[in-house]
Structure 1
Amino acid sequence: MAEQLPDKARLIDVVLDESIGRSTPDIEHERAVAIFDLIEENSFGPVGHDGGPFKLKLSLAESRLVFAISDEADRPVVTHILSLTPFRRIVKDYFLICESYYEAIRTATPSQIEAIDMGRRGVHNDGSQTLMDRLAGKIDMDFDTARRLFTLVCVLHWRG
């Protein structure tokens, strides 16, 4: 899939619509970092569209994440709407294990921290694969891009 994408099949901009809402400065910082990481390195292209690079505007509509994809000149390419329901458990599990990880950093042994971190990465990988599966046939991306997008989905849920 992603190996077959043209070099231009990538995101050059990601914008969060006002429907996402704003949060604390710490969460806004995490969102900005997630967007920066995603733009910095990605492989992303709507299925059946040979153009690119692309811009992505994310918004929320009735517990759904809206992916509005446009080209470099801001001409609409396609919009996909993704239910967030399949992500609720994964995001909740991810936040719980992250809390355990940050607590372990203060009190646990290095081997305990490593074990929790492996679990954290495993849950993150599950969420990334779920995202790829839900967007299959709509958006081609590699696993690393799915990981970065899943990180962004998580920080969109993070309320502090």
Structure 2
Amino acid sequence: MSGHHHQNRNRLIDVELDESIGRSTPDVEHERAVAIFDLIEENSFRPVNDDGAGPYKLKLSLAESRLVFAVSRQDDAEVVTHILSLTPLRRIVKDYYLICESYYEAIRSSTPSHIEAIDMGRRGLHNEGSQTLMDRLAGKIEIDFDTARRLFTLVCVLHWRG
């Protein structure tokens, strides 16, 4: 085993969306697949107090207005399940959609400076959502900011009904 492989134990190798999340339009399904691909491609993920026997698999499901993170090992042995309230994220996710819609609208018809202004707002909200997600997971699962960004994208896409 190379040392590089060892370092990479604190990471996700698989993300699965539970049936509770439901199917959506092909566009949304595509966005979900891309979000999952990006997350698996590059992430840093470690359940707090786990003795480092990653890499990990994550199964996401929705229960009422909560997001359920079920973490297991490569061999499917359960590690931990955390249930997060989505309430603190709901406003950000909603605002994020609205701004994404304005952005797609603007791309078709607005000036570059207008598009840039919307894009800055969109990035700002994305950062805020990522930070909120990190804060919610603090003491439960250690993730870095880039991983939080990718997870936030996935959470947004989960809400997307198309």
The structural deviation recorded for 1:149 is 0.2
The whole-number CA distance in structure 2 between the counterparts of 1:107 and 1:29 is 25
Q: Aligned partners of 2:100, 2:65: CA distance in 1, in Å?
A: 24
Secondary structure of 1:111's counterpart equals: helix
- 1:126 corresponds to: 128
2:3 paired residue number = none
Q: Distance in 1 between matches of 2:24 and 2:105?
A: 23
Match of 1:8 in 2: 9
Q: Which residue of 2 aligns with 1:143?
A: 145
2:87 equivalent to 1:85? yes
Structure 1 residue 22 and structure 2 residue 23: aligned? yes
Aligned equivalents of 2:91 and 2:64: distance in 1?
Answer: 18
Structure 1 length-normalised TM: 0.95
Question: Any gaps of 5 or more consecutive residues in structure 1?
Answer: 1-5
Q: Deviations over 1:104-130 (max 9, x none)?
A: 101111111111101000001000000
Aligned partner of residue 125 in structure 1, secondary structure: helix
Secondary structure of the 1:133 match is helix
**TM-score after normalising by structure 2:** 0.94
| Other-structure match for 1:3 | none
Q: For residue 37 of structure 1, what is the amino acid of its counterpart?
A: D
- Provide the C-alpha distance between the structure 1 equivalents of 2:106 and 2:62, rounded to a whole number of angstroms: 34
Per-residue deviation at 1:83?
A: 0.7
Aligned-partner Cα distance in 2 for 1:63–1:103 = 30
Q: Quick one: percent identity of the two aligned structures?
A: 83
Distance in 2, Cα, partners of 1:102 & 1:18: 29
Instruction: Please give the alpha-carbon distance, in whole angstroms, between the structure 2 residues aligned to 1:98 and 1:67.
Output: 26
1-side partners of 2:53 and 2:116: how far apart? 42
- Distance in 2 (CA, whole Å) between partners of 1:88 and 1:130 is 11
**1:36 equivalent in structure 2:** 37
For 1:112 and 1:60, the matched residues in 2 are separated by: 36
Q: 2: distance between equivalents of 1:113 and 1:63?
A: 33
Partner of 1:61: 63
Q: Give the 3-state SS of the residue equivalent to 1:78 in structure 2.
A: strand
Q: After alignment, is 6-15 or 33-42 more displaced?
A: 6-15
The CA deviation at 1:48 is 1.2
Which of 101, 104, 116 matches 2:103? 101
